Amino acid sequence: MKNSARFLVAAGALIVAAAVLAPLGVTPASPATTAPPKSGCGIAAGGAWQITSRLPCRATAPVGTSAHLNLNSHFRWSAPTSSSGAVTISATRVAPGGMLGTLHAVHAGTALLRAVGVMVCPAGQACPALAMLWQLRVTVVAPSTGHSTVTVTQSSNGGTVTIREGDLLDVNLTGPTINTWSVPTASNASVLERISAAAGHAIFMALGPGTSLVTAVNNPSCFPKCLEPSRLISIHVVVTQ
């Protein structure tokens, strides 16, 4: 009966903690007295693999490169999975908990990596039934061959921009205005993936050949009192190899 109740508590904790990201490995300590460490997305920053966002965790990696995986040693982890062949994982458990392994960028594309961890506590010690979900979205790009960053502004509205696979598209709509910009979006995420975002400003990475429409809306700050119309900006983007 106790085991059954513990499982239910753990399951509930997993739902509550579903948006929490697993931190890098830390020195073992009593979970009853130590606050959870900060998130590190499971891989070290720098090197060929670049962390582009920590909440949610996102990274970019060139084809043919690898990164070390290191998940919190306070947890016993399930085998990590990858949603596509763009990234493969080789991992080894570290008793009594934690996870060490290697992530391999195989070919251009995107992959969502996931693993579930359950807290491990010393025998005979009161232990909260906590669970944690680790997630990392990886964008794998072709090796750099002089890729560049192309910037578009409000003056690009209605036009067409051509960039190459692996290039970055910097959509910068900021400037003097009494209105408020929405976050720019792309209609085709398989062609352009947004890797950073803010009101009126976003950076997209060209994942592969194709077309995508980048849009943003400029809303009057006084709406609805002044009844001024919103303004839509639309830029057609063509990605070539």
> Which residues lie closer than 8 Å to 76 by C-beta, 6 or more apart?
93, 96, 97, 117, 118, 119, 120
pLDDT score recorded for residue 50: 85
Rg of the chain over Cα atoms, rounded to whole angstroms, equals: 22
pLDDT of residue 170: 92
Q: Is 107 left (phi over 0), alpha (psi -120 to 50) or beta?
A: beta
Cα–Cα dist 6/43, whole Å: 31
Q: What is the mean pLDDT of each run of 10 residues along the chain (241 residues)?
A: 39 32 33 38 82 87 88 88 91 75 88 91 78 91 76 93 90 80 92 86 88 92 72 94 81
- pLDDT value of residue 225: 67
Topology of domain 149-240, CATH = Immunoglobulin-like (2.60.40)
Structural contact between residues 133 and 119, judged by C-beta atoms closer than 8 angstroms: no
Q: Where are the domains of the chain?
A: 2-141, 149-240
Say whether 149-240 and 2-141 share the same fold. Answer: yes
What is the reported pTM?
0.53
Taking CA 188 as the corner, what is the angle to CA 182 and CA 193, rounded to the nearest 5 degrees?
70
For the domain covering 2-141, report its CATH number. Answer: 2.60.40
The token duo for 212 is 């995508």
pLDDT, residue 18, reads 31
Assign 43 to helix, strand or coil: coil
State the Cα–Cα distance between residues 93 and 104, nearest whole angstrom: 18
Kindly tell me the sign of the dihedral angle through the C-alpha atoms of 26, 28, 30, 33: negative
Query: Which residue from 196, 158, 154, 160 is spatially nearest to 179, judged by alpha carbons?
Result: 154
In three-state secondary structure terms, 11 is: helix
DSSP 3-state of 190: coil
Tokens 């085709």, residue located: 188
